[in-house]
């Protein structure tokens, strides 16, 4: 258990280090709003947003403490406003938060509340969770290992469904909206229930490569909401306190639920799910014959070519998103969609337009949405905008103009009119009321229709004058989300939440008369993305097999007048209205909070965790540091080598706030051991290094591409201990190490073991510049190709190493030697290998909520290395030999503790040549812990 514990602490460290490093250019000037609960850090021009976030947290904090605990430690929140991604997180190791401030176009996803405020009420609940889960054994781990220790303790005791479910409950509690009031939030479970798919708990928690399973957010909300509804508002405070403290045994949360609910954990979760299942009993049932059907594909954003031909986007677990043209029952793939944040596209007059994601070449917190236009007839695609943040583009009726939502770094939403051929800006529509636009469409040559949100989070449809920016609102304002506008003549079709479902509505622009669209199949799970042809109506609904395309004859469609404004439902949770924090946002008062400068050097080292690593024969402890802006990472290291008995002390630091990265470090090793003329000799070693790295991201279109160049200067000095100084002189050397790394891969579907097309190449050249003569050149590469079946993969690998004659430095050995052999670093080595990867089974089975097996996959390989070395043998003879092996491997793709993905395997190698450097026998079996190279 000790070794496993240390491994998991290391895993926590890996997660912490995976955050975006050095993502903002040095030109960004940072400011702060500093309160007792949160330090909100932001770039120039975002003062009002930062004040709003800080004020929301300050006024909410004390009211929601009783349901989670009263401990409080200030958190730093960094507002990132250069991205096109809608997201946020709170993390330990180090304790910090980041808000990505660009809202989503689709209000059904997370609601329509002002995005910064939505993040504040959700993410700050995570802050309170971490502050109050620092108890018992989790606290003990923090005392020993720092914040990473608490992160481990919390991850082992409190499941991710609680973290997110409790935060979703909080956003639903303190606002008039929140995901707990949005029926689309429950679509996944509604679909499973309607299809009669009663998956076991471990499958719901861990997912599947075959079947659709919802993520842990709705599951967590249902569990949390039921607990507060049935027991008390402080139910989860007591449960999570005992769980994080490990007061209730090997399954901490399960035991705590039983302690405070009086029923078993299994009975509790079944009751929670059944409570919500009853709320959606009106959902149409899927025919029983389909209960064994696996996930098919998502069919999204239908667009008519004519009554018999329709275009839509299809995404399956085997294939990346594809544009499909369907005539009758015949489907044809016309193109694949590029990398996007949103699958939305618009079709008109034979052309498709969508917004494609593109990262900045250097700065990770800056990325773009650029418009791509695809010609269905010619099959050609071109990018018509550069370095833009465009969303939801749509053609004019004549196809000559595109309207798109532009979101500025300040958060301001604008409508841009663009030339459809060149992408040049024609006009910017004035946004007089500071509304947020989504899904704009041309109504005529002079006006647009768009779904809009105000600064309270209410929505309506607006008719917008292109020249003046004047508004004409077509619906009363409401917290009911609106999306997916489609215009047919004088009628605007759209999707809108109404009670327990998202339904299709229509409004006559001239009269502002609102109708619900009926005469189509009833009680489907949501009605989204309407499309109209001369005689047909199409839309998508959610099922257990993906978003499915539905069609109806327009002659059968009935427009039923709507007399009342749709309202949101509490969906069976009355406790939301009985809490003192209920709808807090409605009564929140503006606060003027002072703004001050934030120094980039503040708490620069910020040592937060001790990470132990066991990699026999090396046993190490690393004291890790990272500043809040994530521009400086440093570590103090102690390592003990069991083989030699040496002790190593070191320091490493990297600064990523400039271009390029700057790194430096050094170590001092006591009691290094050598062997000379039958006896051990001991010396101490000092090493120093400094270097530069230029990481570049060329990802665009349909490929992820990166290039990194690095160079470092390295100094080493050996000082012999006193007993040996009369026989050996101290020595030193200095060498340069230059590295070039390239990676390119196509998009990858869920079931694909590897990308269908990918290339990785790494070149490294080391050479001595002082003290000794030495050089080493190493080149490695792999090429990924499609296999015989969709999810199969053929991988061709190669490597080459050359060391200079009489090389006096033992450079590190990074050559990928043939599988099964004991590896040595020889003068000249060439490797060629081929491996074939394939899935074997998708068991979807596990035990004890400890280990769950999602996929069993294998590969077979042939590996060849040819090596030569001068003066290899004692008599001065050279070595020239082949090292060939064949074999196969079996890999297990698993999740442990219902949360973390872990892959491991067993590899068998049959050696076709002698192993000259160790081991006995021709049959070798190894345990493999694969690491992704992408």
Q: What is the DSSP letter of 107?
A: H
φ and ψ at 177, to 5 degrees? Answer: -130, -110
The conformation of residue 358, written as its DSSP 8-state character, comes to: E
Q: What is the pLDDT of residue 18?
A: 45
Tens-place pLDDT, residues 430-443 = 998 999 999 999 99
Going by C-alpha positions, the residue among 816, 819, 795 that lies closest to residue 908 is 819
- pLDDT tens, 489-505? 999 999 999 999 999 99
First and final CA of the chain: distance in angstroms? 31
Rounded to 10 degrees, the C-alpha dihedral 11/742/627/688 comes to 90
Concatenate the DSSP letters of all residues of 661-681 into one string.
EEEEEEEEEEEEEEEETTEEE
Which two structure tokens, joined as six digits, stand for 311?
């275009």
CB 358 within 8 A of CB 700: yes
Other CB atoms within 10 A of residue 924 CB: 19
pLDDT in tens, 305-334: 999 999 999 999 999 999 999 999 999 999
Q: What is the pLDDT of residue 153?
A: 96
3-state class (DSSP) for residue 248: coil
The strand pairing partners of 487, in sequence order, are: 492
Q: At what angle do helices 252-261 and 235-244 cross, to 10 degrees?
A: 150
Is pTM beyond 0.85? Reply is yes
Residue 811's pLDDT band (boundaries 50, 70, 90)?
A: confident
724 — pLDDT class (breaks 50, 70, 90)? confident
pLDDT score of 521? 94
The one-character DSSP state at 823 is P
pLDDT at position 5 is 36
Q: Are 75 and 39 in contact (CB under 8 A)?
A: yes
Query: What are the sequence ranges of the domains in the chain?
Result: 26-107, 755-934
- Partnered with residue 502 across adjacent β-strands are 497
CA distance 220 to 226: 10
Q: How high is the pLDDT of residue 878? A: 85
Q: Which residues pair with 609 in a beta bridge?
A: 146, 624
Task: Report pLDDT digits (tens) over 582-638.
Answer: 999 999 988 889 999 999 999 999 999 999 988 878 899 999 999 999 999 999 999
Nearest to 479 by CA among 111, 215, 195: 111
Please provide the CATH number assigned to the domain covering 26-107.
3.30.2010
CB 772 within 8 A of CB 752: no
Distances (CA, A) of 448 to 174, 302, 434, 670, 840: 34, 21, 16, 74, 53
Kindly write down the DSSP assignment for every residue of 19-67, as one continuous string: S--S-S-TTPPEEEEE-SSEEEEEETT-HHHHHHHHHHHHHHHHHHGGG
State how far the Cα of 342 lies from the Cα of 109, in Å rounded to an integer: 11
Across residues 361-381, what is the average pLDDT? Answer: 96
Which H helix or E strand runs over 891? strand 879-896
The answer to whether residues 616 and 642 touch, using CB atoms and an 8 Å cutoff, is: yes
Residue keyed to tokens 């109504």? 443
- Contact in structure between 316 and 300 (CB atoms under 8 Å): no
pLDDT tier at 875 (50, 70, 90 boundaries)? low
Report CA dihedral (673, 674, 679, 682) to the nearest 10 degrees: -40
Percent of the chain residues past pLDDT 90, beyond the cut: 86
pLDDT of residue 15 exceeding 50, the answer is no
Q: What is the mean pLDDT of residues 455-481?
A: 96
Instruction: Collapse the DSSP code of 212 into the 3-class scheme (helix H, G, I; strand E, B; otherwise coil) and give the result.
Output: coil
Both tokens of 830, joined, read 């060439």
Under DSSP, is residue 159 helix (H, G, I), strand (E, B) or coil?
coil
User: Which pLDDT score is estimated for 494?
Assistant: 98
Q: What is the pLDDT of residue 3?
A: 34
The token pair at 447 is 């006006």
Task: With CA atoms as reference, report the closest residue to 917 among 861, 863, 862, 869.
Answer: 869
- In tens, the pLDDT along 755-797 reads 999 999 999 999 999 988 899 999 999 999 999 999 999 999 9
Give the sign of the dihedral formed by CA 493, CA 496, CA 498, CA 504: positive
pLDDT at 286: 67
Mean pLDDT of 259-286: 94
Using alpha carbons only, what angle is made at residue 575 by residues 573 and 580, rounded to the nearest 5 degrees? 145
With bands split at pLDDT 50, 70 and 90, how would you rate the model's confidence at 930? Answer: low
The average pLDDT across 456-466 equals 97
* Length in residues, the chain: 934
Q: What pLDDT is attached to residue 677?
A: 60
Coil, strand or helix: which one is 323?
A: strand
Q: What is the pLDDT of residues 516-557, one digit of tens each?
A: 999 999 999 999 999 999 999 999 999 999 999 999 999 999
Beta bridge mates, 39: 34, 76
Closest by Cα among 715, 717, 814 to 768? 715
Q: So what's the pLDDT on residue 288?
A: 55
CA–CA dist 94, 204 (Å, integer): 30
């Amino acid at each position: 258990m000790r070794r496993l514990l240390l491994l998991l602490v290391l895993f926590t460290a890996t997660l912490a280090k995976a955050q975006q490093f050095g993502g903002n250019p040095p030109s960004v000037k940072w400011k702060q709003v500093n309160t007792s609960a949160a330090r909100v850090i932001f770039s120039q021009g975002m003062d009002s947003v930062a004040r709003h976030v800080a004020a929301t947290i300050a006024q909410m904090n004390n009211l929601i403490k009783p349901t989670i605990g009263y401990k409080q430690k200030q958190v730093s929140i960094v507002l990132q406003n250069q991205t096109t991604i809608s997201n946020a997180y709170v993390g330990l190791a180090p304790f910090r938060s980041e808000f990505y401030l660009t809202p989503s176009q689709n209000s059904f996803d997370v609601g329509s509340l002002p995005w910064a405020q939505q993040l504040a009420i959700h993410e700050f609940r995570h802050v309170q969770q971490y502050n109050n889960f620092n108890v018992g054994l989790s606290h003990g781990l923090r005392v020993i290992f720092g914040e990473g220790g608490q992160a481990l303790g919390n991850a082992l005791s409190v499941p991710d469904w609680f973290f997110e479910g409790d935060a979703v409950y909080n956003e639903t509690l303190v606002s008039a909206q929140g995901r707990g009031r949005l029926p689309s939030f429950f679509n996944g479970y509604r679909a499973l229930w309607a299809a009669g798919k009663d998956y076991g708990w471990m499958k719901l928690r861990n997912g599947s490569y075959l079947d659709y399973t919802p993520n842990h957010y709705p599951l967590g909300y249902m569990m949390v909401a039921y607990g507060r509804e049935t027991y008390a508002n402080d139910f989860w405070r007591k449960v999570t306190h005992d769980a994080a403290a490990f007061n209730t045994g090997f399954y901490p949360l399960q035991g705590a639920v039983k302690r405070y609910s009086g029923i078993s954990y299994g009975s509790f979760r079944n009751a929670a799910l059944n409570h919500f299942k009853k709320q959606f009993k009106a959902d149409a049932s899927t025919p029983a014959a389909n209960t064994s059907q696996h996930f098919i594909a998502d069919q999204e954003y239908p667009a008519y070519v004519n009554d018999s031909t329709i275009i839509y986007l299809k995404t399956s677990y085997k294939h990346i998103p594809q544009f499909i043209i369907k005539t009758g029952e015949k489907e044809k793939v016309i193109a694949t969609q590029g990398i996007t944040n949103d699958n939305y596209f618009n079709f008109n007059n034979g052309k498709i337009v969508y917004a494609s994601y593109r990262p900045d070449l250097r700065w990770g917190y800056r990325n773009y949405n650029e418009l791509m236009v695809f010609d269905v007839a010619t099959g050609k695609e071109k990018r018509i905008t550069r370095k833009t943040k465009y969303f939801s583009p749509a053609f004019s009726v004549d196809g000559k103009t595109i309207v798109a939502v532009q979101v500025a770094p300040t958060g301001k939403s604008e409508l841009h009119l663009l030339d459809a051929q060149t992408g040049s800006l024609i006009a910017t529509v004035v946004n007089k009321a500071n509304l947020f636009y989504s899904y704009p469409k041309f109504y005529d040559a002079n006006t647009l229709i768009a779904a809009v949100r105000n600064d309270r989070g209410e929505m309506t449809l607006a008719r917008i004058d292109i020249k003046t920016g004047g508004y004409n609102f077509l619906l009363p304002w409401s917290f009911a989300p609106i999306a997916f506008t489609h215009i047919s003549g004088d009628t605007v079709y759209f999707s809108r939440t109404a009670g327990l479902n998202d339904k299709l509505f229509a409004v006559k622009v001239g009269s502002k008369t609102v109708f619900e669209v009926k005469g189509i199949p009833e009680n489907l799970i949501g009605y989204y993305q309407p499309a109209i042809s001369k005689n047909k109506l199409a839309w998508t609904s959610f099922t257990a097999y993906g978003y499915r395309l539905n069609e109806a004859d327009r002659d059968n469609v009935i427009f039923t007048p709507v007399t009342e404004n749709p309202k949101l439902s509490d969906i069976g949770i009355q406790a939301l209205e009985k809490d003192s924090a209920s709808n807090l946002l409605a009564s929140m008062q503006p606060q003027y909070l002072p703004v001050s400068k934030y120094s980039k050097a503040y708490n620069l080292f910020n040592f937060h965790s001790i990470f132990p690593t066991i990699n026999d024969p090396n046993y190490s402890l690393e004291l890790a540091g990272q500043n809040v802006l994530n521009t400086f990472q440093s570590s103090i290291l102690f390592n003990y080598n069991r083989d030699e008995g040496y002790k190593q002390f070191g320091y490493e630091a990297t600064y990523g706030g400039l271009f390029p990265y700057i790194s430096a470090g050094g170590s001092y090793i006591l009691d290094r051991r050598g062997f000379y003329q039958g006896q051990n000799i001991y010396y101490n070693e000092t090493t120093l290094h400094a270097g530069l790295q230029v990481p570049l991201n060329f990802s665009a279109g349909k490929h992820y591409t990166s290039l990194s160049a690095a160079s470092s200067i390295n100094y080493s000095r050996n000082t012999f201990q006193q007993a040996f100084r009369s026989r050996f002189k101290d020595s030193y050397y200095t060498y340069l190490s230059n590295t070039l790394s390239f990676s390119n891969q196509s998009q990858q579907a869920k079931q694909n073991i590897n990308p269908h097309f990918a290339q990785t190449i790494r070149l490294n050249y080391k050479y001595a510049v002082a003290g000794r003569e030495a050089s080493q050149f190493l080149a490695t590469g792999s090429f990924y190709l499609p296999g015989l079946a969709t999810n199969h993969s053929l991988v061709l690998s190669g490597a080459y190493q050359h060391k200079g004659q009489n090389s006096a430095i033992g450079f590190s050995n990074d050559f990928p030697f043939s599988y099964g052999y004991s590896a040595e670093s020889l003068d000249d080595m060439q490797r060629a290998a081929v491996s074939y990867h394939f899935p074997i089974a998708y068991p979807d089975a596990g035990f004890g909520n400890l280990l769950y097996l999602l996929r069993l996959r294998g590969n077979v390989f042939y590996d060849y290395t040819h090596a030569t070395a001068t003066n290899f043998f004692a008599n001065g003879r050279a070595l020239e030999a082949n090292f060939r092996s064949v074999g196969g491997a079996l890999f297990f793709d698993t999740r442990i503790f219902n949360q973390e993905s872990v892959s491991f395997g067993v590899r068998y190698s049959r050696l076709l040549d002698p192993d000259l450097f160790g081991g006995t026998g021709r049959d070798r079996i190894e345990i493999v812990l694969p690491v992704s190279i992408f």
